[in-house]
Chains A and B, each alone.
Chain A
Amino acid sequence: MERVKRPGPYVPKSTLKGGFPRVSSKILAFPVLAFRCLAPRFPLKRFCSKMLAFPVLAFRCLAPSFRSRPVVGMLALASSSHRCLAPQAIFSGIFSGTVPEHSLKRFYSRMLAFPSLAFRCLAPSFRSRPATGTLALASSSHRCLAPQAIFSGIFSGTVPEHSLKRFYSRMLAFPVLAFRCLAPSFRGRYASTLGRMAQRSAIVSRFLWLLLAMSLLLCPSALNAQDTLIKSNSPYSPAKFELDIQPILTARGCNSGPCHGKSRGQNGFALSLLGFDSDMDFRSIVTDARGRRVQPASPADSLLLQKATSQLPHGGGKKLEPDSADYQTLVQWIQAGFPRINETDPVLTQVAISPDPKPLAPGEELHLKVTATYSDGSSRDVTSTSAYQSNEPAVLAVKPNGKIQAGSLPGEATIMARYMGNIATWSSAIPRPDPVDPKVYAELPRNNFIDDLVYQRLAHLNIVPSRPASDSQFLRRAFIDVIGRQPTSDETREFLHDPNPNKRFALIDALLERPEYADNWANKWADLLRPNPYRVGIKAVLSLDTWIRDAFRQNLPYDQFVRGILTARGSNWKNGAVTIFRDRREPDEIVTMVSQLFLGIRLDCAKCHQHPFEVYGQHDFYSLAAFFSRVGYKGTGLSPPISGGEETVLVKSSGQVNHPLTGKPLTPKTLRGSEVQIAQGDDPREKLVDWMVSDSNPTFAQVAVNRIWAELFGVGIVDPVDDLRATNPPSNPKLLDQLATHFRTIGFNQKELLRTILQSHVYSLSSEPNQTNRGDHRNFSRHYRQRLRAEVLADAICDITQTTQSYAGSPAGTRAMQLWTVRTESELLDAFGRPDPNQDPPCERIPESTVVQALHLMNAPAIAAKITDENGRAKRLADSQWTPNQIVEDLYLATFSRFPDPTELSDLVSEFGKPNNDRRKLVEDILWSMLNSPEFTHKD
């Protein structure tokens, strides 16, 4: 038995589900009411499909609401409130993509059956057009074109072509009506065109007008006849958004970070960064801003094109020439009704650059060609729509059209071409033009495999390495590199006088056993790992520092060092490694650090979008983050700025990381690897480290050796040191591989690795360039000078002046190298660029020199006090019975780690003979002048 329904507009969903026809009889009587009732309550799709069953009714229902449109529209514009646009929105929703295509077809076919009715229904809404249209045009904003856009949507590609034809043919049957309906909207738009034509034809008759209008209508392409003369370069007809349009946007930089690709877009127009989100880009262009960016009825008037060609003011300037093929592709695509790819369309599989890489002569030019290959085996030339980048523009510059030009300097460079998220690289060497006799290389000293590999590279580039450094240069360099301090006068004297031919190797062995080794290398690693104490708490930072120093004191193998950090659990007061997890509390926070530090892969980009220079995307990012999904916390969390509580990091029995877009939980998956199943109760982090340190992951060892190499040579084989990717290739791939293999073979023993590198002949080269290598910065044909690190410099000043520095909160005798927090106040350390813990990421150290540094060494009261200290070196030397010769020699040994040469000695000694010179003041002044010389501040 059917229940009696309550009167009123409420129509229960269930009733409609099964029996719309039954209800419809009531609705029929009150179409307007019905529409008002139904519209808000029903999912649009269902509503439309139901309506399709009753076209006449539907139109009668809809018509009134459209009749009200002119009034509302005017009202809306006038009062700038447009509360009443809902009906139109629904209507346009019917015509645009929100309704499935098959329903649309049915809808149109129904409409075709009742053309006059359809037009009667539609007409009112278009009648309002002249007013609004004129207004819009008058204010030179083309923002009010919505009704026309809807209308043109009917005529353009959103309706299948065969229905269109039928639609037109029906229209022909009712020309007058059609014209009455359509004319106003076109009058606004093409008033000038029609007017011109009318004048030319001399006979202005309404009928002719009609014919003209109809012909325009029936042949929309006639409007753009001249446009179609230039053929677009798309092999697919019509052009598709993903295949043809997005590459243009990417190549022109429209969706780059500084322009519309930034998260907030630019002036309201936002595209996904480098086009990683096609749906978003399509919406932005086609539907957002009421569709005003594209005009299928007149593509050339599309805002998208008018802006890009700078016909309208465009912050980005002219990005597109109206006579270019890309422009035509866009026109054609808009005209065709914005087609997108479907399942049967081919997908991009590969991008390749031709011709094959070859060495270039300085100044040589070459046109690169980029070819995209698709899943259907087809390929096309995408040279003009690819984006290019050179990793060494000075060596090899690249233009937006793919033309490369070698610079005047010899070297290596890699060109990256990016086309729709796919990347191809092209590496080339520009050797010095004058060949070098192979004998030169054959005769060079070789201490181990490093020398071989470096010479091979240099031979390839016709570069000859610099001569070897002097003993004193080597001594100072090795001391600073291995233990972070200068040799004392005695150590220097002893080494320089040592006749042992193997004294350099002996020195390396001795240095590696010095206790300062641990502090020096822990200090470097603390830069990379130490969080902000104001965030995680002082005690947590101290315990992390202790943990790191301990690891280096024991020479903990690197794989175990990393495992200790990444699988840390327990209290942040007892196990310092836990502090990392205290700081980075979410899987996505820790994973960026892990991938950058230990895998040399900068995943940060992939957190939000496809990495611009890499293969990684969000799925990779969050799948890797899933290894940290079971990290749990107990105890007192963060409470900045003190954060003093004790917290325990533990492993939960379960936990998951979801994909941020799909919301689906992700199984932990290694980068470019496979999914890893984690048993209940297991720590997924163990599995991650297993994979990281395994042979199947080459980057773990590579990034480690590269970092150590960069510490010694000032520049990594890959630079930046933690950015390993095809588009940032190593300057010497074989060297990187061999070193990584070596590191693995010796069980990730850092001291052994250091020994190997320090023993190489390459390490002992002079910094002085010769004619062949003066432009070399990456191939290790000479030593590259570096400024001393802040802590090394601070300690060296104390050692040289024979004074001590007290640091707040640290016991007496603490050296700068031993400070465990960058919060310890020191003007000197700040001036010389110790990392700023406020910085994100905090690990960047500033290697540059600055005027502040110069001023500090010159004038700082603290340094002045050290020079003139009552117990300092200057006073002791002045008070001693030493001759000027001895004094000068001692100062040179202590500060520059060498003996003065005869002219230096005689010049300075003669200063002692001058009558006005006070001995102590003179010693102080010499000391000052040495500390202010780059021979002291730099490692040569």
Chain B
Amino acid sequence: MLRRNWLQLGVAGLAGGSFSNLLQLREACAASMPAGKKPASCILIWMDGGPTHFETFDPKPEAPVEIRGEFQPMNTNVPGIQICEHLPKLASIADKYAIVRSVCHNQGNHGAGNHYMMTGAPPRIPVGCGAFVSFHPSLGSVAAKERPAPHGLPPYFSMPSMSRSGGPNFLGAKYAPFVVGGDPNNKHFRVRDVELPNGINDDRFQSRRDLRHLVDRLPRFSDPATADPVVAVDEFFQQGVELITTPEAQKAFDIHSESDATRDAYGRNSFGQRALLARRLVQAGVPFVTLYDGGWDHHSDLFGALKTRLPSWDQTVAALINDLDQLGLLETTMVIALGEFGRTPKISTLPGQSKAGRDHWANAMSILFAGGGTPGGQVVGATDRQGHSACERILSPENFVSTVYLKMGIDPDKVYYTPSGRPAHLVSDPTPIKELM
């Protein structure tokens, strides 16, 4: 205890007070927001299962073969930064994003890792691999609460399903993600519930609303003291109507209006088209979109699977960043790609499997972080020579979510109160990753 304190003292003494620096940094971040700068929106590419950091953004060519794996690193357009050879498109735009290589935690199974990274809070009780748990509001739900969307648009989308631990917890159902299932690559794709059902045109919708006007005669108790729940329903109905009848909002869902060139650029697959839809939503003012991208749990056949998966993933993510950049939206839109953890350095073959893979590894992971004013062309932190664990600028999930919140104009040090009155810190350690700010 004493020694540690002295250590802090020494560093602090030399650096001239790290605590006050930290405070200043935080204040600076919060203060910089309103001054003409729009708080960022966020497209979160959630690589559920835990993507390998070796075969994505943290290659280790110097490591022995059983660690470095089959893939080679590739130079990017930023000297000194190398990423996996199967991500050539991202390699060509490395100046547009930052890579964080040193976020780590201690939750080595899916349920817990998902929760920690998605909410910034470790699960309160031990959680198993298959678990979908929620003890704390997720990034998206907090964004939904703090950042309402225009035109009656739901503020938090999740496609094609809700991510684990992506719920609102005590914030309430209002802030649950609006889940858009289905495959936007399909010719007949429609976003559920936000467009008139088949066979109902605008005229018929109008006449339905006229009829509702005749039918809906339940008295409203408009005195606020009475707190009639029906009064709120009217508000939501109006909001829904606005969403249906506002062309700007409707445009957001109409992926079919994109040019073929754009759709091709994103990749004609469901993930690619979802990314394009996410961009349209953000363009229309939605603050938070989760692109749930499962299946990164490569215990076996890591190389075979990634050889086919990475190129199309690379194409989509690079297209998304480029597209946002060209539209001038990258400055106000974060694109973040990560999963719940990294994967084991040593390649191994599970019993009963013939092809090798990597297992869960929370000591190291890589996060791609683009946009929202993030200085690109940099790598934050590092893992050791063999990718075992973060060794420079060791960062926590708390640091990560704090960064996202701050960029969205949300104070990570905020205190919420649960319905039972218990205070809950939004993030227990509200320190952002300063290199990304």
Contact = CB atoms under 8 A, between A and B. Distances in A.
A846 interface: yes
B5 A846 contact: no
A930 B152 contact: no
B228 interface: yes
Contacts of A257: 422-423
A139 B233 contact: no
Contacts of A930: 212, 215
A938 B221 CA distance: 14
Interface in A72-109: 76-77, 79-83, 85, 89
A82 B193 contact: no
Interface string B409-437: 00001010001101101001100000000
A935 B9 contact: no
B167 interface: yes
A929 B233 contact: no
Interface in A134-179: 135-136, 139-141, 143-144
B65 interface: no
Contacts of B211: 908, 911, 925-926, 928-929
A850 B197 CA distance: 20
B129 to A, nearest CB: 6
Contacts of B425: 258, 262
A714 B89 CA distance: 57
A792 to B, nearest CB: 15
Interface stretch (A11-19, A626-634, A859-867): A859-867
Interface stretch (B13-21, B39-47, B313-321): B13-21
Given A720-B420, A785-B230, A868-B199, A852 B154 contact: yes
Nearest to A143: B9
Contact of B173 (A140, A535, A833): A833
B295 interface: no
Contact of A289 (B5, B124, B233): B5
Interface stretch (B131-139, B335-343, B359-367): B131-139
Interface string A893-923: 0000000000010011001000000000100
Contacts of B236: 849-851, 853-854
Nearest to B12: A141
A935 B220 CA distance: 10
Contacts of B152: 851
Given A868-B199, A934-B216, A77 B10 contact: yes
B49 to A, nearest CB: 14
B134 A836 contact: yes
B14 A80 contact: yes
A549 interface: no
A431 to B, nearest CB: 16
Nearest to A891: B215
Contact of B204 (A532, A768, A925): A925
Nearest to A922: B211
Contacts of B218: 933-935, 938, 940
A760 interface: no
B223 interface: yes
Contacts of A864: 197-200
B37 interface: no
Contacts of B133: 532, 838, 840
Given A141-B17, A839-B167, A855 B229 contact: no
A723 B421 CA distance: 12
B130 interface: yes
Interface in B6-31: 6-7, 9-14, 16-17, 19-20, 23
A774 B223 CA distance: 7
A932 B237 contact: yes
Contacts of B266: none
Interface residues of B, number: 88
A856 interface: yes
B195 interface: yes
Nearest to B238: A854
Nearest to A845: B173
B229 to A, nearest CB: 5
A83, A532, A853, A854: residue with the most chain B Cβ atoms closer than 10 Å: A854
Given A262-B425, A836-B167, A904 B214 contact: yes
Contacts of A852: 154, 173, 176, 178, 193
Given A860-B193, A904-B215, A908-B215, A139 B124 contact: no
Interface string A251-281: 0000011100010100100000000000000
Contact of A640 (B10, B130, B422): B130
A855 B193 CA distance: 6
A777 interface: yes
Given A768-B219, A935-B217, A535 B131 contact: yes
Contacts of A940: 218
A598 interface: no
Contacts of B130: 534, 640-642
B231 to A, nearest CB: 9
A389 to B, nearest CB: 9
Interface in B152-192: 152, 154, 164-165, 167, 169, 172-174, 176, 178-179, 192
Given A785-B229, A850-B173, A89 B6 contact: no
A855 B240 contact: yes
Contacts of A921: 204
B259 interface: no
Nearest to A860: B193
A848 interface: yes
B63 to A, nearest CB: 31
B10 A82 contact: yes
A83 B218 CA distance: 78
A81 B7 contact: yes
B249 to A, nearest CB: 11
Given A81-B7, A262-B425, A851-B236, A859 B223 contact: no
A77 B6 CA distance: 9
Nearest to A840: B135
B208 A848 contact: no
B304 interface: no
A861 B223 CA distance: 36
Contact of B194 (A76, A855, A868): A855
Contact of A854 (B129, B178, B239): B239
A858 B240 contact: yes
Interface of B: 1-3, 5-7, 9-14, 16-17, 19-20, 23, 111, 124-125, 128-135, 152, 154, 164-165, 167, 169, 172-174, 176, 178-179, 192-200, 204, 207-209, 211-212, 214-219, 221, 223, 225-230, 232-234, 236-237, 239-241, 243-244, 413, 415, 419-420, 422-423, 425, 428-429
Given A80-B7, A638-B128, A839-B167, 13 more contacts: A144-B13, A290-B5, A534-B132, A769-B221, A774-B221, A775-B223, A838-B133, A838-B134, A838-B164, A856-B193, A929-B212, A930-B215, A935-B217
6 contacts: A257-B422, A775-B226, A840-B125, A848-B172, A854-B239, A929-B214
